[in-house]
Amino acid sequence: MDDNLVLQPEVKPENTVETTQPEVKTFKQEEVESLIKGRLGRERQEFAKMLGLEKYDDVKDYAESAKTLKEQFQAKETELVQFKEKASALEKEVVKFKFQIKDEKFKEAMTLAELKKEGKEMDLDTALEEVLKEYPSMKMVSKVGADPNPTVTKEEPVYSKAYLQQFQHIPKFAKLLAEGKYTK
């Protein structure tokens, strides 16, 4: 043999690591569906308990009752808005009657009163009184021979029966009507 030829043992590099692949578990479709169904059932039950219900089947009834309550609430809100609008209109009529403001001048008088109130601690009655002093033409025309500036007394006004019946839903007017304190 050739003297130059030397046999050397096979050397493995030091940085190579033998890795063993972990065994991969495979599932059948039925097993996956069963796992998902079980997990979904537990989540549904937790959700039902969070809502204070005994079981998940009650959630549908809960949702229906919530929907019904929401609809009832919205109907009551609409009704409240209508009552507020009606009350506002009635309050305007009372103010118009109290201060004897002409129909066609009422909006203008209210606007001027609101402007007078701005930045001042003044109630609407005081502001309207001031506006009507400045603009007496906004007041209704009084009867011939009547005092153009009648003195205001603190006596309760007298209403007609028809007028009281029109506003009988307001407690003050209902009381006057019940007590028979009206003119014929």
Tokens 């690591």 sit on residue: 17
CB-based contacts of 99, cutoff 8 Å, min separation 6: 109, 128, 129, 132, 139
**In-domain check, residue 14:** no
Mean pLDDT for 120-135 is 89
Domain count, the chain: 2
**In-domain check, residue 114:** no
Question: What was the pLDDT predicted at 33?
Answer: 92
- Pick the last residue of a domain from 65, 83, 101: 83
Q: On the CB side of 43, how many CA atoms lie within 13 Å of its CA?
A: 6
Question: What was the pLDDT predicted at 83?
Answer: 93
**In-domain check, residue 107:** no
- Pick the last residue of a domain from 40, 63, 83: 83
**In-domain check, residue 140:** no
Average pLDDT value over all residues in the chain: 80
**In-domain check, residue 17:** no
* Separation between Cα atoms, residue 62 and residue 47, nearest integer Å: 12
Question: What was the pLDDT predicted at 27?
Answer: 84
Any idea which of 50-59, 66-75, 157-166 has the lowest mean pLDDT?
Answer: 157-166
**In-domain check, residue 91:** no
Nearest to 138 by CA among 113, 104, 167, 92: 104
For the chain, what percent of residues have pLDDT higher than 70?
A: 73
Per-residue pLDDT tens digits for 9-57: 666 666 655 667 778 888 899 989 999 999 998 998 888 888 888 887 7
Question: What was the pLDDT predicted at 17?
Answer: 59
Domain that holds residue 169: 156-184
